[in-house]
Amino acid sequence: MTVLNAENDVVSHSEKAYFEYLLGYEAEITGKWEDALDHYINALKFDPSSAYLKTQISFMLVKLGKIQEALARLEEVAIQHPDYVPGLLLLGELYNSQKRVDDAIRVYENILKINPEKNEASLFLGVLYATKGEFQKAVAIFSSLLKKDPDNIMAMYYMGSINMENKNYDKAEEFFKKITEINPSFDAAYLNLGIVKEIKGDLKAAEDYYKQVLTINPHNLFAKERLAQLYLTEKSFAKAIKELEGILKESPKNIDVHQRLGLLYLQEKHYDKAISEFRIVLEARPNDIVSLYYLSIVLAELKRYDEAVAELKKIISLDPKNINAFLNLALIYSRQNRYADVIKVYEEILSFEKQKPEIYVYLGNAHIQAKEYAKAEVVLKEGLNRFGDNEELHFNLAVAYEKMGRFDDMVMHLKRTIELNPNHADALNYLGYSYADKGINLQEALSLVSRALELKPDSGYIIDSLGWVYFKLGRLEEALKTLQKAVGIVKDDPVLHEHIGDVYESMDNHEAAIDAWTEALKFHEKEEGLKERVEKKIESVKQKIKKMQ
């Protein structure tokens, strides 16, 4: 009795061999590969010349992960039965899996000499040449295959892929479109069409192709990934979130997607969801500095400052020179008005990083906020010794000098700031306002503030400066109108309300002046010395009103 397989091979020459083969085949189709292997080995004992049984044994060894043993047996088959194509096909596949590309090529070329019509071997051979970067050989093989079999979609697919690799996007698109005409359910073709369109900048067409992929195969995670990336490019964050959430439904342990989703939730201000995603990442990767960093940002946005500080300190323990962690730590302390702690943080940065002028700026500004003006001067001058042409160092030193009452030094450094950067709006405004406040160089002050306003037309503070210049020039109606516009933008600054009161007083509108000054007192804690100054103004005007009655 004999049994034939798909290659018309004789399985056995005896009833015992045939019986063992049947037992092996039954075990194989039920997934009992150890049993199948035993039965095929027993069958081979009764039919020792069967290339088919030898190949089946190797196939079971592969199933069981015994690759080297399978290879050794198949190499024997190739020697004993050099024309046995199924054995050679499996041998080529194993060589390829072991990255023995040249050996695999040799096997597939041998197969095609034996049987030139073996399209499967042609496909594998073409792919291997493409893998080696020998695209001309690969194209020749696939082209020859397509002449014999014009509707071979795999050959078309690899031709399209090679053209993509070589940036021949129009040609690649032709191949992939042809595939969709022959087989409209071939999702990989639509996926590559989407990538081609994305590269060409046609994002709408790319989106349509990716959606087509997901219509065919809703579980195609790569298509979801490409859609998410496309939506990020378009800044359609809500759509990107939806795609990433879809990926996580299919692959809930994908930590990188959890991290990206956390970043998007942060972008969209879904802070609780962002925290949840970053916590998932950190559970899997406790030392993930990126997630620790962004988690601290979310916590700070929610004003959960102690928790944010704890996360930043974890980063610093992992990476003691992580400047971003230090900078955000300083920012949180600043929000809490903990200027002594802010100063310590910047001093710590300067202990290992002295090549960034902005750190001197930040430290100097922190001293100014803490009203330590002399210390601010020392730090900013140290910075200028290293970076003499840094405009921000000059500007902040000017601010320190203004706080110290050193007007001429302030003017000198503001002018130097403007020399270095003629478009430094804050320096232009600061100098113009300072002139106006002293009632000097008023035309120059008007020019300076006007230039600043051109650079920052929506700045309530610069508009206030312009109104103050008008006031000093005696252009009261223009001053009042301008200052009211400034207060419409910055409603809680006491100095702006004070200025309006001053203008009303100059216009002899005493009641309106008192109202404006009273409004200023609501926010007096923002400006040192304002409360006493404004209360004196109110009292003075009230006395004036009494005398008039």
Is residue 347 assigned to a domain?
no
Is residue 520 assigned to a domain?
yes
Is residue 532 assigned to a domain?
yes
463, with CB counted inside 10 A (0-12, 13-18, 19+), is: buried
Q: Is 10 helix (H, G, I), strand (E, B) or coil?
A: strand
Q: Is 519 helix (H, G, I), strand (E, B) or coil?
A: helix
- What confidence score (pLDDT) does residue 402 get? 96
pLDDT band at 13 (very low <50, low <70, confident <90, very high): low
Residues 516-549 pLDDT 10s:
999 999 999 999 899 999 999 999 999 988 888 7
- Return the axis-axis angle of helices 289-301 and 271-284, rounded to nearest 10°: 150
Least Cα distance to 271 among 263, 281, 260 occurs for: 263
- What confidence score (pLDDT) does residue 10 get? 45
Residues contacting residue 52 through CB under 8 Å, at least 6 positions apart = 5, 7, 9, 10, 11, 86
Token representation of residue 378: 């020392």
More confident residue, 160 or 6: 160
Percent of residues, the chain, with pLDDT higher than 70: 98
> Stretch 404-410: mean pLDDT, rounded?
97
Query: Given CA atoms 89, 90, 91, 95 in this order, what sign does their dihedral have?
Result: positive
pTM: 0.74
As a whole number of Å, the CA-based R_g of the chain is 39
- Asked whether the predicted pLDDT for residue 80 surpasses 80, the reply is yes
**What does the alpha-carbon distance between residue 271 and residue 262 come to, in Å, rounded to a whole number?**
9
Q: Provide the domain count of the chain.
A: 1
- Asked whether the predicted pLDDT for residue 6 surpasses 90, the reply is no
Residues 428-455 pLDDT 10s:
999 999 999 999 999 999 999 999 999 9
- Asked whether the predicted pLDDT for residue 397 surpasses 60, the reply is yes
Q: How many residues does the chain have?
A: 549
Is residue 11 assigned to a domain?
no
Contact in structure between 408 and 428 (CB atoms under 8 Å): no
Is residue 503 assigned to a domain?
yes
Is residue 298 assigned to a domain?
no
- What confidence score (pLDDT) does residue 528 get? 87
pLDDT band at 228 (very low <50, low <70, confident <90, very high): very high
Percent of residues, the chain, with pLDDT higher than 90: 94
- Return the axis-axis angle of helices 119-131 and 135-148, rounded to nearest 10°: 160
DSSP letters for 230-282 = HHHHTT-HHHHHHHHHHHHHH-TT-HHHHHHHHHHHHHTT-HHHHHHHHHHHH
Residues 229-258 pLDDT 10s:
999 999 999 999 999 999 999 999 999 999
Least confident of 6-20, 33-47, 185-199, 432-446: 6-20
- What confidence score (pLDDT) does residue 4 get? 35
Contact in structure between 10 and 2 (CB atoms under 8 Å): yes
Residues 115-155 pLDDT 10s:
999 999 999 999 999 999 999 999 999 999 999 999 999 99
Rounded to the nearest integer, the mean pLDDT of the chain is 94
Is residue 402 assigned to a domain?
no
* Helical spans, DSSP H, in 115-167: 119-131, 135-148, 153-165
> Stretch 52-65: mean pLDDT, rounded?
94
Q: Which domain range does residue 526 map to?
A: 492-548
- What confidence score (pLDDT) does residue 55 get? 95
3-class DSSP string for 315-363: HHHHCCCCHHHHHHHHHHHHHCCCHHHHHHHHHHHHHHCCCCHHHHHHH
Contact in structure between 76 and 54 (CB atoms under 8 Å): yes
Is residue 269 assigned to a domain?
no
Contact in structure between 520 and 494 (CB atoms under 8 Å): yes
